[in-house]
Chains A and B, each alone.
Chain A
Amino acid sequence: MLEIGGISKRFGQVQALDQVTFTVQPGELFGFVGSNGAGKTTTMRIVLGVLTADGGEVRWKGRPIDADVRRRIGYMPEERGLYPKMKVGEQLEYLARLHGLAAADARASVERWTSRLGVEARIRDEVQKLSLGNQQRVQLSAALVHDPEVLVLDEPFSGLDPVAVEVMSTVLREKADAGVPVIFSSHQLDLVERLCDRVGIISGGRMVAAGTVDELRTGNAERIDVSGPPPGWADALPGVRVLESGQHTTRVELDGTSDQDVLRAAMAAGPVHSFAPHRPPLTELYRDVVAAPAATEEGA
């Protein structure tokens, strides 16, 4: 289990991370979301030891991460980077060897991953001659080439075409299924929701929510989509807040009121064609969670 335990980091006047805590289980795909500057990259850099935390600890299998463990992590930095003038194959082999692979293993692994990711034809080309999409594939190969025990990927999907997104998703899922804890950050919330077992939301350097998408939904007030009754039917109902009011469908949030009472009120207002609980997608949950702390700050 990968444990991020209460890490804090300050840059000058800015508290970039404040007691960030979460865990990722082996075999779990963990989606790390938050707005720009929320602390995703800083957290990942601390896990990789590229930055040192002011406080807190990162543990793998119960032990603090040291240089030897870090070498077995696969990393894709937010700022993509490879030697532009080095050939794809030599570059990946070099990185594999820096991660401790023997020469022969490194070569075999480079062959395996470049063909898996569809860049095996470019193995003798300089990185700078590749298209941006292919450079991304090489970058992912660089994160995978040493058969890592843990994967930490910062924005792996940004700049990928739909085919590459599918390849990337499949590879990440495979790695997770093979027992590797996978953390990745992304702004594509629908993708995160579809792909991830668990999600962590970070805002202003603090983890504001972590869990499966279903867990994030619980605790939110119940929401119901009602279609049929004319618009405005619920405006005056006690214990009910109208969130969205369309031509046919009205979304209401129940403030402790029984859904049966609302159904009766709706049927009284007109014929009801559908009456279903609304399962908010991650996008909506994210908006609610990230907006909340800002609101309380303003109120205080």
Chain B
Amino acid sequence: MTAPLTPGRAVMLVARREFTTQVRSKSFVIGLLVTIAIFAIYIALFSFIGSQSSSNSLGVTSSTAALEPALQAAAKAQDRTLTITQVDRAAGEAQVANGDLDALFDGSPGSYSLLGKDTVDSSLQQLVAGTVQQATLTDALTSAGQDPAAVAARGTVTVDTQEPLDPERGQRLVLAIVVAVLLFMSLVGYGSAVAQGVVEEKSSRVVELLLSTIRPVHLLSGKILGLGLVGLVQLLILSAIGLVGALTVGILTIPTAAAGALVSAVIWYLLGFFLYASIYAAAGSLVSRQEELQSTVAPIMFPLFIPFIFAVSVLPNDPRNTLGTILSFIPLFSPTLMPARAAMGVAPMWQVLVAIGLTILAIIGVVLLAARIYRNSVLRTGSRVGLREALRSRS
């Protein structure tokens, strides 16, 4: 009745158990729903703010009504909607008080005033002040016999760039940050899941039963494959929802670049996951109880945090930062930094390929080392196993 179990089937059996157990767990479903909810709120908020910010209503009195065309022209130039109503002072004050008007513009040259309820939108202030300033200057120049247009032309500075400005830069930036956040979340989340799984098997002692039928390296590989797949599924679900949502609402208008960023996120997730999951598994195998795990996995967070912080805080202002470029080649940092740089459009293909090559080399080394640590410490219960001991001893 029993057939010889090939290593491949052993690994697949373990991977399938890890996958189904994880996907059916409450924490996975709840975590996914919460993240989707955050995504939805973020997108909704973004489009709401986008539709709200540029619309104002302004009341003018008979003394300021003459400036209405100039105000409208200025608003149009700034791509804003400005509704102007002419009222008398008393009615205007009442409408400001009940919120029908954002502000009331009254007075005469030398005594112009803008009345708001408790505050006046700073962009509306600037718009009105700029228009009044411009009108005053034009009047003064005209009465002094000067041509206002000629004066304006003399004071103009034109701005040129050697390379055309990338009109999609803002969107690329958003993509890069989203990719970095997703990768960071997935690597930390599913890396820790691997460590917790290893400790669960140790603390429940089921590991001895498992290792009486399959080899440690098969158990380890199956666990990493199964949980890695769960992380990939979650990454794909989130990216798909995020992409479709953002494209629908119009935050994103560059589907090709977005798809490219998604593909690179998946590739880097796989590379980063194998690298970090092996380290997490080795760290988990050193302890016997979940409570001891935190102190062992804490150091792994550093090489994940550094590029993440770099990607979301330094790169947006300075995409070509030299330190960022160098760090994106270092295997432990590449998985979050290089795709962020690539999404921003500042990493040429050869740089991406070199970083992938270096990471693969690092994975081979780390997996061999981690498997050794795991094999040597997974059956040892009790006090924490020292790293040097785990690397040396053979059981």
Contact = CB atoms under 8 A, between A and B. Distances in A.
Mutual binders A and B: yes
Interface of A: 45, 48-52, 67-68, 70-73, 75, 77, 79-86, 94-95, 97-102, 105, 142, 146-147
Contact of A98 (B4, B13, B207, B208): B13
Given A83-B206, A94-B17, A100 B211 contact: no
Most chain A CB atoms below 10 A, which of B5, B200, B215: B5
B206 A82 contact: yes
Give the 5 A-B residue pairs with the shortest CB-CB distance, closest first. Answer: A81-B205, A81-B206, A100-B2, A79-B205, A48-B212
Contact of A100 (B5, B212, B394): B5
A100 B395 contact: no
Contact of B13 (A48, A50, A94): A94
Contacts of B209: 75, 77, 81-82, 95, 142
B205 A71 contact: no
Contacts of B200: 83
Q: Report the contact-size class of chain B (Cβ under 8 Å from the partner).
A: 20 to 34
Given A79-B381, A83-B200, A72 B205 contact: no
B349 interface: no
29 contacts: A45-B208, A50-B212, A50-B379, A70-B212, A70-B213, A71-B2, A71-B4, A71-B213, A72-B2, A77-B209, A79-B208, A79-B381, A80-B205, A81-B206, A82-B204, A83-B201, A94-B13, A97-B13, A98-B14, A98-B210, A98-B213, A99-B5, A100-B5, A101-B1, A102-B1, A102-B3, A105-B1, A146-B2, A147-B1
Contacts, number: 76
B208 A68 contact: no
Contacts of A98: 5, 10, 13-14, 210, 213-214
Most chain A CB atoms below 10 A, which of B17, B200, B204: B204
B21 interface: yes
Contacts of A102: 1, 3
Interface in B1-34: 1-5, 10, 13-14, 17, 21
B212 to A, nearest CB: 4
Contacts of A48: 212
A11 to B, nearest CB: 9
Nearest to B200: A83
B1 A49 contact: no
B213 A99 contact: yes
Contacts of A84: 204
Contacts of B13: 94, 97-98
A81 B204 contact: yes
Contacts of A94: 13, 17
Contacts of B207: 81
Contacts of A101: 1-2
Nearest to B381: A79
